[in-house]
Each structure stands twice: as structure tokens, then as C-alpha cells.
Amino acid sequence: MQLLSIHERIGSRKHKEIYELIRRQGTVSKIDLLEQSQMTGSTLTRTLEELTAQGWLVEAGFGESTGGRRPILYQTNPLAGHVFGLDISRMSSKLILCDLHMNKLESKSWIMDENMTPVRLLNEIAETALAMMEAHGLTADGVLGMGIGAVGPLDRFAGVIMEPLYFPAAGWRDVHITSFLQEKLGFPISLDNGANTAIIGESWSDRNRDYRHLLYVHVGVGIRSAMMSNGKVVYGAVDMEGSIGQMIIQTDGPRLGDHGNYGCLETFASIHALEQKAHSRLKQGRESSLRYMEKDPDKISFTHLVQALKENDPLTVEIYSQAATYFGIGLSNLLNILHPEKVILGGSLISSHPSFFQMATRVAIRNTYHYPTYQVVFSQGHLGEEALVTGAAIMIINQLTEV
């Protein structure tokens, strides 16, 4: 099936430049655009007229007069197209449908249990997307595409989820997700790892602040990360999403299961690490309210730990504090190497209790070499757990102005 590429929808470089300027600012006057674009008045007028005629822009009233005629205000047309965002994670997956102003029109979530195989999930995603389109009167031509933020490692060019760990269901290996969904839905599908889509989402939500270098770290079942420099996601020779989790913190440390580095960060600061630590401590005879939640120590889960932490159970507080300290050490290593201006921390472990974020960032700052000369902003982001799926949809809109 031959599909029109998203970046071909807006034709010329001039059209893309003006569309992007307006998109980033929301509502802009022609006078401001003339100043920002360096175009001649006649070229700008013609470009605005053509984008408006094509339906990409709409006039949004008049600005304040500075002595002459009130300037026309322009904004992008939210109904010029629609986009899907899809987050595929180990604990849950989510699909959203949005207009071009990122107003969410529909959403659907799936619990990723032992029955949610790739075949089942992808079929349900396709059926749900088609149902959403029908409910809103959309054809495939009216959808720019679907962006997917998924657990890595993956091949974003081939559109393949390669061999991710810790999925409850079997079959998550060499999943050709983009070709499957493209054939079912009839519009372009783009794949990237979830950390990259999350940083795209968070960067867009904070676009009025001029942060040039951003770091995003997602701490949950595993540790996922992304870096953005000068507004662009930084890519390596291979998918880097899980690489931070393999940073060695203790050379003679333990190993999670039968994979990864011994003594790596993920072994000390992840949901699996916390669960294993709790199992071990309970078997050693440590007293804890966890014993009253589940008789079998091996059945203590992250949900139990979150509840025990809210009750200030001493053992759980100790386990959390150790994990936050180790994570802070790993974070300080990243700060000393990358020197981002802002660090966004997300994921279920970060959001489970304020103490984890607070302790980890304090430890990171204490171990940052150039502090206080080097100042970094720590944040839990504006989008929270919606960052991955929102960024996946924004990734598609961003392609409109790619050259």
C-alpha cells in the first residue's frame, strides 16, 4: 500500500516554516510572523493565504492595534487532521485519538497481563482505532498517522519491537508492529521507544521555556531514558532506551535474573529490584506489615509495597530509601557526563511516593561535580504517565514540518 508521507502533506519549506512558527506559539499576528520569519511581506502574505486555503491555518480574530489597522491573528487549524498516539508498556498500554491541537477525543487502555499477547493486543488496537474513526466520522485520509512509543529494544526504521524483557504474556519478540497496523488501518505508523516519545511530549508541553538540553528517565519495571539536545532527540547507533539501567553501580553486586550486568542500576532501583529485596528480607525474618498482606513472601508485589509505604512500614521505608539512594547515584553519573539543563523523572516508581523523587534528587545533587556552579532543574513533568502516549501523537504532528 502506497501511503502519502506525513512530511509531504505541507509542500514547501516556506509553508513548513510558517506553520511551525504558528504551531509553537498558538496564536500569532502577521506582524510578528514578518519579524520572525525574515520573509518579505508579499512572500509571507502569499504563504499565509495558501496555508489558509489548504485548510492548515485559520484566522483567529484581530490583535491589538499599534497605531494602524489591527493585525490579523493566525492559528493552526485543529481539524486539518487527526492523530493517534499509542503507548505499549509492560504494565498497561494506551491508545488516544487527538486533533492537531492535541485535544483528546477518545482513549482506551489495556492491562498487560499474561493473556495480552502481541497478536491479541494489535488486533484490539486496530479494531479500537477503526471504531474511534467511525465515531468521529474520520476516514484514513483524515488521519495523519499513528505514533507508537514502545518498550525497547526496537528497530524504529523497520518498525519492529525486538526482544523486550518482563512482558507478562509470551510472544513479545520480533513483533512487526508498524507493517501490521499500517495494513489494517491504511495510514502511516511510526515507532520509537517510549522514553523518546515521553521526552517529545514533555518538551512540547514546556515549549515556552527555552531548555536546550533535556534528560528524561522513566523508572518502573525497568529503567528507560532519553536525551534531547537543541530540540532534537539524541539517537545512538543502537536503541538506547534501556542503557541507563545497565550502568554499573557496584562491580560485585547482584544480577536480576539471567540477563544484564552484575551490579547494574536496574538491579537496585526498579520495581523488580524492590520486590526481590522485600521477598529476601521477609524470608530473613524481618518484621513488616507486608506479612499481614500476603502470607507467601514471594507473592508480595509492588502494589503491596506502595500500600505499606503509605503506612510508614519501617522495612518498606528502608527498601525504598536504599533504592532511591542508588538511583540518585546513577542519576549523578548522568549529570556529570551529560550536564542537562532539566531532568524529568517519570514512571510508576517515581510517582508511587514523593519520598523517592525527593531522596533521589538530593543524592544526585550531592554527587554532582560542578554543583553549585552547574544548576539543574528536576521535575516530574507536566504530563505524568500520559507523557509517553501524548508524545507518540506529537511525534506524528512534528513530521508535518520535517524537510
Q: Is pLDDT larger for residue 2 or for residue 15?
A: 15
Strand ranges (E), 173-310: 175-176, 189-193, 213-219, 223-229, 232-233
Overall CATH class of domain 6-76? mainly alpha
CB atoms within 10 A of CB 279: 16
Among residues 118, 233, 241, the alpha carbon closest in space to that of 170 is found at: 118
| Least confident segment among 79-83, 102-106, 166-170 | 166-170
Q: What percent of the chain has pLDDT over 70?
A: 97
Predicted pLDDT at 70: 76
Q: How many CB atoms lie within 10 A of CB 73?
A: 18
Mean pLDDT of 299-322: 94
Write out the CATH class of domain 210-380: alpha beta
What cell was used for 209? 521555556
CA neighbor of 335 nearest in space, from 373, 304, 309: 373
Q: Which residues of 339-351 are buried (b: 16+ CB within 10 A; e: fewer)?
A: ebebbbbbbbbbb
- Tell me how far apart the alpha carbons of residues 188 and 5 are, in angstroms, rounded to a whole number: 7
Sheet containing strand 342-346, edge to edge, reads: 232-233, 223-229, 213-219, 342-346, 377-379
Query: What is the pLDDT averaged over residues 164-179?
Result: 93
For the segment 267-283, the average pLDDT, to the nearest whole number, is 93
Residues of the chain with CATH 1.10.10.10: 6-76
Would you say 162 and 102 are in contact if contact means Cβ atoms under 8 Å apart? Answer: no
How does pLDDT run across 341-389, given as a tens digit for each residue?
999 999 889 988 899 999 999 999 999 887 777 889 999 988 888 999 9
Q: What is the mean pLDDT of residues 20-42?
A: 88
Q: How many CB atoms lie within 10 A of CB 98?
A: 22
Which of 237, 228, 182 is closest to 344 using CA atoms? 228
DSSP 8-state code for residue 63: -
82-201+387-401: what fold? Nucleotidyltransferase; domain 5 (3.30.420)
Q: In what order do the strands lie in the sheet with 175-176?
A: 154-155, 160-161, 175-176
- Cα distance between residue 22 and residue 20, in whole Å: 5
Burial class of 252 by CB neighbour count within 10 A (0 to 12, 13 to 18, 19+): exposed
Mean pLDDT of 96-100: 97
Beta partners for residue 82, in sequence order: 99, 143
Region 140-163 average pLDDT: 93
Whether 1 shows a pLDDT value over 50: the answer reads no
Q: Rounding to the nearest 10 degrees, give the CA dihedral for residues 322, 275, 390, 116.
A: 170
Question: How much is the pLDDT for 63?
Answer: 67
Rounded CA gap, 136 and 399, in Å?
Answer: 23
Average pLDDT of the residues of the chain: 90
Q: In the chain, list all ranges with CATH 3.30.420.40.
A: 82-201+387-401, 210-380
Q: Which three cell numbers stand for residue 262?
A: 552484575
The listed range with the strongest mean pLDDT (28-32, 64-68, 148-152, 258-262) is: 148-152
Q: Which of 215-224, 248-257, 263-272 has the lowest mean pLDDT?
A: 248-257
